[in-house]
């Protein structure tokens, strides 16, 4: 990859890693599968990540067509996406559950009664939530499916989902090692970074609409 593409890939990795937050997903997953045998919990993690990957692929390659069908331009979506990511950043800094990046208490209670949590709530919204799906659309922008940018974003998503899978398989260990305080500290740091990136997206969208 050329230097600009490498820089773009690094920026995409940082942004998606912060939004998906594998470190924060692992303790929630550990709580949901605490009564499952190890083999079942591993299978659930693999299915959940696989479903999330399929959802990301759909949004990466079909998201632009969906926006065109709805009559939504990229500048407007960039502003809206930036605002959504800023709200997500606020949730991370304040360590509160709003449904943007994790399950709310009522959803967690429902999930605990399910035999299979791989699709809901693991794939959606814990991994492929509103924030992460918005982010992949912002990163691909108006690029076509043949563009290097689009395939770079897909590669970054695949790497982060592989990291997420590893985190899920080691969820019990991570949960014990970090504890709730450690997870919250990580979330707050990620939230500050995400807030700055979100403001930049809003600024880019405004500049596209009003260049002067």
Region 188-194 average pLDDT: 88
Residue 28 CA to residue 48 CA, distance in Å, equals: 14
Task: Please state, rounded to an integer, the average pLDDT across all residues of the chain.
Answer: 86
Region 26-35 average pLDDT: 85
Residue 149 CA to residue 164 CA, distance in Å, equals: 22
pLDDT digits (tens, 9 = 90+) for 157-183: 999 999 999 999 999 888 888 887 888
Cβ atoms of 156 and 107 within 8 Å: the answer is no
Residues 6+ away with beta carbon under 8 Å from 185: none
Question: Above pLDDT 70, what percent of the chain?
Answer: 90
pTM, full prediction: 0.84
Q: What is the pLDDT of residue 136?
A: 93
Q: Hey, how many other C-beta atoms are within 10 angstroms of the C-beta on 182? A: 14
pLDDT digits (tens, 9 = 90+) for 46-87: 999 999 999 999 999 988 888 888 888 888 889 998 898 898
Q: What is the pLDDT of residue 112?
A: 63
């Amino acid at each position: 990859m050329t230097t600009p593409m490498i820089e773009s890939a690094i920026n995409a990795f940082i942004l998606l890693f912060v939004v998906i937050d594998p470190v924060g997903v692992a303790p929630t997953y550990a709580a949901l599968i605490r009564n499952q045998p190890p083999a079942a919990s591993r299978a659930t993690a693999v299915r959940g990540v696989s479903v999330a990957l399929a959802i990301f692929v759909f949004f990466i390659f079909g998201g632009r067509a969906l926006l065109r069908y709805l009559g939504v331009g990229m500048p407007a979506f960039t502003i809206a996406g930036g605002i959504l990511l800023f709200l997500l950043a606020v949730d991370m800094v304040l360590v509160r559950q709003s449904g943007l990046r994790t399950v709310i208490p009522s959803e967690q209670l429902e999930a605990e009664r399910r035999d299979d949590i791989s699709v809901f709530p693991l794939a959606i919204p814990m991994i492929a939530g509103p924030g992460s799906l918005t982010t992949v659309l912002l990163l691909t922008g108006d690029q076509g499916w043949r563009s290097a940018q689009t395939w770079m974003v897909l590669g970054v998503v695949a790497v982060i989902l592989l990291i997420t899978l590893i985190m899920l398989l080691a969820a019990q260990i991570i949960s014990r090692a970090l504890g709730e305080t450690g997870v919250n500290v990580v979330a707050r740091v990620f939230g500050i970074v995400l807030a700055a990136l979100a403001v930049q997206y809003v600024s880019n969208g405004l500049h596209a609409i009003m260049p002067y």
